[in-house]
Structure 1
Amino acid sequence: MTSGPLRLGFPVKVLGNPALKSNDARRAQSNPHLRVSLGYLAEIFDYLAKHEIGMYRMSSDLAPYATHPDMPQFHSMVNDCAADLAALGLRAREQGLRLSFHPSQFIVLNSPDPELVRKSVWDLTSQAEMLDLMELGPEAVLVVHVGGVYDDRIAARQRWIETWPTLPEPVRRRLVLENDDLRFSCADVLHIHEATGVRLIFDHQHFWCLNQEGLDLRETLERMLRTWPGDTRPKIHFSSPRTELRQLSRKNRKTGKTEIVNIAPVWTGHADFVQPFEFIAFMRIAQGLEFDVMVEAKAKDLALIRLRPDLVRYAPDVAARFGLFDAQQDALDGEEASLLVAGGE
């Protein structure tokens, strides 16, 4: 098990410094390249170090068009950047930075369409290759969901199980499976784990949105954490549900006029920030368990930076688990103010 305080991380986009780019997003005709993305990533590493953030999810588009079937000119870019990946991986290890990928929703391993599965495996293989070339340990993972239901949830779940042994070894070694909020619950992914051995990611908000089996929170969390080997710290996802009223402009079908419509929140939606009391309550339920936390709030790094002083202020016992203490309160408050009030760096 990795020693030291638990880590907080955030995904992809840096809101605290809008000048930072997460990947080379130029279109194909401009010849985007992984090497450019790695330069951007190095600048994000500087930002993470400055703000003492120890976990980060890299963009799944880090290597643009690397697996596009109609653009073979981009297919060699990962191998072409082997030395660059190794250098950046060394820096991540020296910085104590935990990295991961969360491939897009278009990556589906349980599709009845074998061509979609083949393309998905190609994408996963490319991302696993990048993590391997960076020489990152087993904590650097590829997070995926089960996929579609296709009118038969049990059959769809079984197809994922049957796809598992066909995956390339680097993909199986890096792949972890997350419960989702609409289709496949913790019970579903635990069933898949029993059949395959794949490691599992516990998503707190998804657990509450989809738990038709009525599983107990602490017991389920423990079971999912145990799917990780003892020498690798698990990680989980945490977000708070969006609660605010939204007002949208819509055309009235009867009158043809545009009107303002009040829209209630959908509980699967993520809030901009983490509700600290919800997080504190969860961490106290999880007392004695070790895992890093990926903060999946809409405000990204700003949500993480806001959460830290909240923990010190309202729950010193929880704050201490993340290496945060009362003596740091003024510094944490100042960091929060500089990013949230002044609008970034």
Structure 2
Amino acid sequence: MRYRFGYVSNAVTLWEASPAKSLTFARYSKLSKAEGKEALLRTTKANLVNTLRTLYFAIAHDIPLYRFSSSIVPLATHPEVRWDFVTPFQKEFLEIGDLVKRHGLRVSFHPNQFTLFTSPKPSITENAVIDMTYHYQILEAMKLEKEGYMNIHVGGAYGDKDSALQRFDENIKQLPAHIKARMTLENDDKTYTSLETLGVCEKHGIPFVFDYHHHVANKDDNAALEDILPRMFDTWTSTGIPPKIHLSSPKSEKAIRSHADGVDMSFVLPLFHALKLYGRDVDFMIEAKLKDQALLRLVEELSAIRGNKRVGGGTIEWKGLSLCKQG
């Protein structure tokens, strides 16, 4: 079994390298047309440069997974601003995509929590389509539209899950098929559990991203990992790539939904106990606050478990021996 690990958006080790520098609409609206355009271009350029810096950092540390920031392009989906962000930066997008392909990185996006398809308000669905289209356009500009995925949550329940899920079935039809084909769904920490999200994925042929932390915080009654993992693997079969699992651990017992700075190995070991039964490759996205630092520490700790072998900065060959004894 080969387990690969990645991190989200920016490497905290790097100085001043956020790929999500912002330009608020309030600030933009105070600028002249020329000044506004210049601000959009300047901010986007900085985010693309920092995306490259972060990717080079991942490559230098042999980390094979990376999640792009959704905020690379400021105000890209704002109804009063929406602008052509591809044409001015064709070279930069292609450079990023070429780097990803040359080094075999697995990349993704995670649109925000407002990108959902269960709302009774048509405007919310329309905005979700716009946001998914924006992310797809970036993948397309990088020529990664056949490789990258966009991960979202099912959405809100609005007091009635059955009705909300029926709306998902209808509203998702508004998403163009080629964009839906690059979509994954993740269980959340408050509303849709692992089994509920799996049901939606299986119904619509969407790969399931299993968030272990969310599963613990919002667990189905009597749902064991052995009930979830085989079905998770099945949703990824047609993609030809390993499933993805999100890893983080709670900040505290009281703040169980909040992410800690690092990943507590004792918290995630039950998942690895369960996974070893299947002998399958898995990719993991670290969602801890310390991002790259949390990843490298966890990989070091996991590779110290007897029987495991670290074969890269972010890759472990899991031999499936003792998970309890180290040395």
Is the structural similarity TM-score above 0.5?
A: yes
Correspondence for 1:269 among 254, 258, 272 = 258
Q: SS at 1:150's partner residue?
A: coil
Correspondence for 1:61 among 60, 71, 86 = 71
Work out the CA distance in 2 between the residues paired with 1:110 and 1:82: 34
Work out the CA distance in 2 between the residues paired with 1:240 and 1:44: 24
Q: SS at 1:59's partner residue?
A: coil
In structure 1, the gaps of 5 or more residues are 244-263, 326-345
1:296 corresponds to: 287
Correspondence for 2:182 among 174, 177, 186 = 174
Q: Cα deviations across residues 186-213 of structure 1 (Å, max 9, x unaligned)?
A: 1211221232111111111111222234
Correspondence for 1:47 among 53, 57, 69 = 57
Residue 167 of structure 1 and its aligned partner are, at CA, apart by 0.7
Asked whether the 8 Å contact 1:271–1:298 carries over to 2, the reply is yes
2:15 corresponds to: 18
Work out the CA distance in 2 between the residues paired with 1:294 and 1:273: 13
Normalising to structure 1: TM-score of the pair?
0.80
Q: 1:79–1:195: structure 2 CA closer, same or farther, 3 Å change rule? A: farther
Correspondence for 2:5 among 8, 14, 20 = 8
Q: SS at 1:176's partner residue?
A: strand
Asked whether the 8 Å contact 2:23–2:75 carries over to 1, the reply is no
RMSD across aligned positions (CA): 2.2
| AA at the equivalent of 1:151 | G
User: Identity across aligned pairs (percent)?
Assistant: 30
Asked whether the 8 Å contact 1:280–1:311 carries over to 2, the reply is no
Work out the CA distance in 2 between the residues paired with 1:323 and 1:37: 27
Residue 284 of structure 1 and its aligned partner are, at CA, apart by 2.9
1:165 corresponds to: 173
Question: What are the residue-to-residue correspondences of 1:239-318 with 2, within 5 Å?
Answer: 239-243=248-252, 265-287=254-276, 288-317=279-308
Q: 1:186–1:281: structure 2 CA closer, same or farther, 3 Å change rule? A: closer
Normalising to structure 2: TM-score of the pair?
0.85
1:329 corresponds to: none
Correspondence 1:221 to 2:229: yes
Q: Cα deviations across residues 37-62 of structure 1 (Å, max 9, x unaligned)?
A: 21111111121122221111111111
1:210 corresponds to: 218
Q: Cα deviations across residues 158-187 of structure 1 (Å, max 9, x unaligned)?
A: 211212222112320111000111100112
Correspondence for 2:127 among 109, 113, 119 = 119
Residue 315 of structure 1 and its aligned partner are, at CA, apart by 4.3
Residue 139 of structure 1 and its aligned partner are, at CA, apart by 4.6
Asked whether the 8 Å contact 2:136–2:145 carries over to 1, the reply is no
Instruction: Tell me the matched-pair count.
Output: 300
Asked whether the 8 Å contact 1:237–1:294 carries over to 2, the reply is yes
Correspondence 1:105 to 2:94: no
2:320 corresponds to: none
Work out the CA distance in 2 between the residues paired with 1:291 and 1:139: 17
Residue 110 of structure 1 and its aligned partner are, at CA, apart by 1.2
Asked whether the 8 Å contact 1:139–1:232 carries over to 2, the reply is no
Q: SS at 2:304's partner residue?
A: helix
Max radius of gyration: which structure? 1
Q: 1:5–1:224: structure 2 CA closer, same or farther, 3 Å change rule? A: closer
Work out the CA distance in 1 between the residues paired with 2:230 and 2:142: 30
Identify which range, 117-126 or 12-21, moves more after superposition: 12-21
1:238 corresponds to: 247
Structure scoring higher RCO (CA < 8 A, sep ≥ 6) equals: 2
1:70 corresponds to: 80
| AA at the equivalent of 1:305 | L
Q: Cα deviations across residues 7-41 of structure 1 (Å, max 9, x unaligned)?
A: 21111132112321213324434522334321111
1:343 corresponds to: none
In structure 2, the gaps of 5 or more residues are 318-327
Correspondence for 2:46 among 8, 23, 36 = 36
Q: 1:219–1:137: structure 2 CA closer, same or farther, 3 Å change rule? A: farther
